Amino acid sequence: MRVWALPLALLALVACVTYSVAYRRSAEEPPVIVPLRQVSVDPAQLAKRLASMQAGWPRSRKFDCARLKCVALTFDDGPGEHTGRLLDLLSARDVRATFFVIGQMVAADRGGILTRRIVDEGHEIGNHSWSHPPLAALSHEAVHRELKYTDDIVEHLTGVRMRVMRPPYGATDNGVAAETRREGLAQILWNVDTLDWRDRAAPTVAKRACEAKPGSIVLLHDIHRSTVDAMPAVLDTLSRKGFTFVTVSELYGKTPLPGRTYTSR
């Protein structure tokens, strides 16, 4: 390998360099369960969550995305320190999105405050594994642990069972598909990649996100400040273009089928 190519090769190997050392443990090692903190639950919020469960979660708004210019903004790897500000921005514009959360990040989420906000504010929440390994490189048992532990902790904190997932790095195969089918999870990929993990410049991220077409699923990461900084421009620009912001399930008009892989409408 030429010397000048070495840095590029290393960059490709560490695409998600922001993950903690804990994420890079052996893929076959059982995930470490972080004890949950005891938290008080607001009775009004609890009643709201239970009502949502009884009515069917997530409660989908009705959009005809066969006619409308729909776009699904999706955010991976949180919840993190910038997720709260992102939720504020989305709430101010009455925009719903889909959040693919990492189990370890949920466990570190101060008792689940941000995780609950995602659900309570009408966003769709999805499984992004426990520790962000490439699932296609794992045994069936390890894939099962990565998905089930994250399903369980999110259900424990929010009362809802996730129905969609995103394989880390988009790495999937027939074995992963079979396991997601058993867990009742559809695989959601994307057709617009903002590369916001690599290029931490809000204008660059916004420009790429705004290349979305009707029916696009846009890949973003709420763990990066620059991504959240880009969101006002993304929302304003796509709104001017006539786009309607929807969750992944709303994009398809129904809950995607378990085990099946989706990239756009």
Residue-averaged pLDDT of the chain: 84
Is-contact 220 74, C-beta < 8 A?
yes
What tens digit of pLDDT does each residue of 219-256 get?
Answer: 999 999 999 999 999 999 999 999 999 999 999 998 89
Q: For the chain, what is the domain count?
A: 1
What tens digit of pLDDT does each residue of 23-74 get?
Answer: 333 333 444 444 334 444 455 555 555 454 444 445 557 889 999 999 999 9
Whether residue 48 is contained in a domain is answered as no
Where residue 128 falls among pLDDT bands split at 50, 70, 90?
very high
Report the CATH number that the domain containing residue 94 is assigned in CATH: 3.20.20.370
**pLDDT of 20:** 34
Question: In whole angstroms, what is the distance from residue 237 CA to residue 221 CA?
Answer: 19
pLDDT: is 194 or 32 the higher one? 194
What tens digit of pLDDT does each residue of 195-213 get?
Answer: 999 999 999 999 999 999 9
In this prediction, residues 162-183 reach a mean pLDDT of 97
Whether residue 253 is contained in a domain is answered as yes
Whether residue 115 is contained in a domain is answered as yes
- Predicted confidence (pLDDT) at residue 136 exceeds the cutoff of 80: yes
**pLDDT of 258:** 96
Domain extent, residue 230, equals 64-262
**pLDDT of 49:** 52
Whether residue 54 is contained in a domain is answered as no
Whether residue 3 is contained in a domain is answered as no
Whether residue 43 is contained in a domain is answered as no
**pLDDT of 48:** 56
- Predicted confidence (pLDDT) at residue 189 exceeds the cutoff of 50: yes
Residues tagged active-site? 76, 221
Question: In whole angstroms, what is the distance from residue 81 CA to residue 150 CA?
Answer: 19
**pLDDT of 42:** 54
Tell me the backbone φ, ψ of residue 97, rounded to 5 degrees. Answer: -140, 180
Q: Which long-range contacts (CB under 8 A, 24 or more apart) does 236-242 make?
A: 237/206, 237/210, 238/71, 238/209, 238/210, 238/212, 239/93, 241/69, 241/210, 242/69
- Predicted confidence (pLDDT) at residue 14 exceeds the cutoff of 50: no
Whether residue 135 is contained in a domain is answered as yes
Whether residue 7 is contained in a domain is answered as no
What predicted TM-score, i.e. pTM, was given to this entire model? 0.81
